[in-house]
Amino acid sequence: MKEAECYPGKRVGRLTLIEKRRIPSGKWTQGGWLCHCDCGNETVVRTNGLGKTVSCGCYAKDKVKEFKTDFHEGDKVGRLTLLRRWRKECKTYSQWVWDCLCDCGNTKVVSQCHLGRDTLSCGCLNKEKTAESNSKYLDHDSSPNSKYHPLYGKWKAMIQRCENPQTHFYADYGGRGIKVCEEWHDYEVFKQWSLENGFDASIPNAGSIFTIDRIDVNGNYEPSNCRYVGYDVQQYNRRNNIFIKYKGSYRSIQYIADDLGYNWDVIYHRWLHGDTGERLIRPVQEETDYEQVIVYEGKHWTINEVAERIGITPSAVRHRYQKGDRGDRLFRPKMINGYREAVDL
C-alpha cells in the first residue's frame, strides 16, 4: 500500500492504523505503521506490506483451525477415502502421509497437512474443472482461435490502461483521469458498438489495421468520443504532436506534410526556424545538382565550395538549399560545442 493512502483510523483487514513508525532495516529504516488488531494485539507493519498483511497473525491461525487435522482410517476427504497412515522419511525431515483411494479408482499418497486444504482428489477434480473452463474459453472471443480475438485484446488493454495502476501506460490514461464509460465495461456492448462503427474482423490482421482513437485526446473512452481509424490517422491526434494553423484549422505537422506531399521533416524544420503562413507551406525546391551555382554577396559558389568553406558536408548544404535556406542561413557555419565556428568568407 502507498504511504499517501494511509492515515490514522484506516482499516486494513483486521488492522486499524494508529500512527506512523520507522522500522530498522540494516543501515536504514523503513516506513511502517503501528496497528491495532481486532483480537486486541498491537503490531508494527511495513507500509508497503499493508494489504498483504491483514492481521497480527491471528487470521492465519484462525484459517488453520478451520481445517480438520484429526483423521482416521475410512474418513472421506473430498473424493479421497483414507486407507492407511504412515511416516514418510524425507532427506532432511519426516512427515505423516496417507494412502488414499480416489472415487475415480486411482490411489494417491497425500501429505496429512495437505488433506482437505489443497488436495481433495488424485488430480481428477482439477482436470475436470480445467476442461470445463476450457470449453467455455474456446467459445469466447478471448480464445486466440476466435476471429474477434484482436477486438477482445483491444477492449482488455483499454480497461487496463485506464484502471490498473500497475500497467505501463496508466500514467498517460488513468493517471490523467481518463475513464472507460460504464456501458463499455460489458465486452458484448463494446463489441456491438465496434462492429457498427468500422471494425471489420473479416479483414486479415484487423487488429493491426484498426485502432480505437479518441477524438478528444483528453476525453474518456465512450461512444460519442471514439472512432476506428488506421494507425496513420491516429498519429495526427496525439498529445505530443505540434499543431499549426493550416487552412483555417489547427493541424499536426504530419497532416500538413501529407496534404502537401512533403516529407515530415521539411515542415518541422521550417516551423523550428519560425516560418509561418505561406512561407511555411512554400514549394520545395527542385533537386539541386552539386554543381548548382549559388550567388552570395556578389560571388558564385557551387555546393561543394560552400561545404568546403563552412566545414560541413555537401549533402548538408544541399539539404539546407532544398529546405529553402538562402543567403546567411545557407552559409551559416556548423556548431562546435554549442557555438558557431567563425568562418572567413
The whole-number pLDDT of residue 103 equals: 93
The whole-number pLDDT of residue 45 equals: 93
Q: Compute the distance between CA of residue 219 and CA of residue 180 in angstroms, rounded to an integer.
A: 10
**Residue 338 confidence (pLDDT) above 60:** no
Using one digit for the tens of pLDDT, what is the confidence trace for 284-301?
764 444 456 677 777 888
Burial zone of 100 (CB within 10 Å; 0-12 exposed, 13-18 middle, 19+ buried): buried
Phi, psi (rounded to 5 degrees) for 69 = -120, -15
The whole-number pLDDT of residue 222 equals: 93
User: pLDDT confidence of 105, banded at 50, 70, 90?
Assistant: very high
Alpha helices in the chain (DSSP H): 58-66, 124-138, 149-163, 187-196, 206-209, 231-234, 253-260, 264-272, 277-280, 303-310, 314-323
Lowest mean per-residue pLDDT among 17-21, 60-64, 106-110: 60-64
Across 313-330, average pLDDT: 82
Q: Compute the distance between CA of residue 133 and CA of residue 130 in angstroms, rounded to an integer.
A: 5
Query: Terminal CA-to-CA distance of the chain, rounded, Å?
Result: 67
Across 190-209, average pLDDT: 81
User: Any idea what DSSP says for residue 119?
Assistant: B
Q: Compute the distance between CA of residue 214 and CA of residue 221 in angstroms, rounded to an integer.
A: 7
Cα 65 to the chain's mean position, in Å?
42
Written as nine digits, the cell of 103 is 472415487
Written as nine digits, the cell of 133 is 473452463
The whole-number pLDDT of residue 52 equals: 87
